[in-house]
Amino acid sequence: MKKILVTGGAGFIGSHLCEKLLSEGNEVIALDNFFTGNKKNIIHLLDNPYFELIRHDVTMPFFAEIDEIYNLACPASPVHYQYNAIKTVKTSVMGAINMLGLAKRVNAKILQASTSEVYGDPEIHPQPETYWGNVNPLGIRSCYDEGKRVAETLFINYQRQNKVRIKIVRIFNTYGPKMHPNDGRVVSNFIVQALQNKEITIYGNGSQTRSFQYVDDLISGLDKMMNYTPEDFHGPVNIGNPEEFTIFELAQLIIKLTNSKSKISFLPLPEDDPLQRKPDISLAKEVLKWEPKIYPEEGLLKTIDYFDNLLKEYF
Ligand code: NAD
Ligand code: UDP
């Protein structure tokens, strides 16, 4: 049995990860400041004697004897990470320093939840890990993008200088049950709008693209990366589903799958919104023997079901 720390453990991805790690017989500590996370996501785990939930902010040092750390703490939706941009940078950078310091002290293996946002508005398509990215350091997304880029820099330097056992995963757009209904990201927005027959809000003309992976595929990718041997494969490795959609196509698909009467409305495109995004997952396939298994329609139907039940609870 391993003792595993999950920062951001009450969030969307973190809560799925805690469930999976507990089901494999590990002891899990979830750390969260509940900025975007929700106790509801992990309430069913609280009776498990091998699960601990601690209210803590990763910008402050934390100490525990643990074997592994998954560093997920950070708001991920543009609406939430832009709410307090300075805090977002602090969470990424000071959170990484604190967790890397802990990993160094107790000789834990540590995985960083990095992001496709390190590629910014990419000029290379699809994006391989070797691409350095195209990020506006002054733009409204930079608190997140640059914060995550510095976190990667910290990770690789703790490895080089201190031999900390690090892993970096660049996560592409992920969706699934337990996303917050007001999270502000496109999949949750469109599903909630479609289920309520409200206007579907496309930002811009909807020609920008994203590639969406279902959360179960991501969790299996994180697990494969953390447990991959030899340990000197540090990444970064892209984990995402290469099936690419325009945002307009996504809106149409969600309207179809929900049998919705919603109409589409077009709103201004936010500043620096990347025009295209699609992972090159050759490295994950070759090294980790990982590839996504859930088709978009299958994952979307599960997510629609989740939000449908959630909305029935509210109304
Ligand atoms: P989320 O907002 O649901 O989860 C983030 C969690 O971190 C929340 O529970 C939040 O309360 C917590 N948190 C935020 N700041 C904190 C702080 N200072 N101290 C302690 N806890 C804090 O988002 P998510 O989608 O689950 O994302 C999890 C991680 O994965 C993030 O690091 C995100 O950058 C990364 N990621 C997610 C996606 C995606 O599409 N979901 C894509 C790329 C990367
Ligand atoms: N988007 C949209 N309507 C919404 C929410 C998002 O058209 O209600 C667009 C957004 O402008 C972006 C894409 O969908 O082009 C993905 O947005 P999201 O916030 O989910 O993730 P990110 O931009 O970080 O990939």
Provide the annotated active-site residues.
144
Count the Cβ atoms, other than its own, within 10 Å of residue 86: 8
Whole-number pLDDT of residue 21? 98
pLDDT of residue 313: 84
Pocket (CB within 6 angstroms of ligand 2): 77-78, 173, 185-186, 189, 201-203, 208, 210, 247, 270, 273
Helix %, strand %, coil % of the chain (to 5): 40, 20, 40
- Cβ atoms 12, 34 nearer than 8 A: no
Which of 72, 127, 168 has most ligand 1 atoms within 8 Å of its beta carbon, as the pocket-test mutant? 72
> Who lines ligand 1 at CB under 6 A?
7-8, 10-14, 31-37, 57-59, 72-76, 91, 95, 113, 115, 171, 173-174
Residue with tokens 């939840």: 113
Whole-Å CA distances, 215 to 165, 219, 266, 313: 25, 6, 28, 23
Chain centre to alpha carbon of residue 188: 14
Report mean pLDDT in 10-residue bins for the chain, 315 residues: 97 98 98 96 97 98 98 97 98 98 98 98 98 97 98 98 98 97 96 97 98 98 97 97 98 98 97 97 98 97 97 80
Q: What is the atom index within ligand 2 of the atom nearest the CA of 251?
A: 7
Q: Whose CA is closest to atom 11 on ligand 2?
A: 203
d(CA 304, CA 264) in angstroms, rounded, equals 18
One-character DSSP codes across 133-190: -B--TTSTTHHHHHHHHHHHHHHHHHHHHH---EEEEEE--EE-TT--TTS--HHHHH
Handedness of CA 45, 174, 169, 115 (dihedral sign): negative
pLDDT for residue 121: 97
Domains, the chain, ordered by start: 3-173+214-239 (3.40.50.720), 186-210+243-279+294-314 (3.90.25.10)
Q: Which pLDDT value is given to residue 315?
A: 64
Question: Residue 117 Cα, ligand 2 centroid: separation in angstroms?
Answer: 12
From 247, 264, 300, give the residue whose CB has the most ligand 2 atoms within 8 Å, as the site to mutate.
247
Q: How far apart are CA 156 and CA 100, in angstroms?
A: 10
- Nearest Cα neighbor of 109 from 24, 236, 3, 10 is 3
CA distances in angstroms from 36 to 20, 47, 77, 160, listed in the order given: 21, 23, 9, 33
- Nearest residue by C-alpha to atom 15 in ligand 1: 74
Q: pLDDT at position 191, please?
A: 98
Q: Give the atom of ligand 2 at the shortest distance from the alpha carbon of 187.
A: 20
Q: How far is the CA of 157 from the centre of ligand 2 (A)?
A: 32
Cis? peptide before 268, omega within 30° of 0 = no
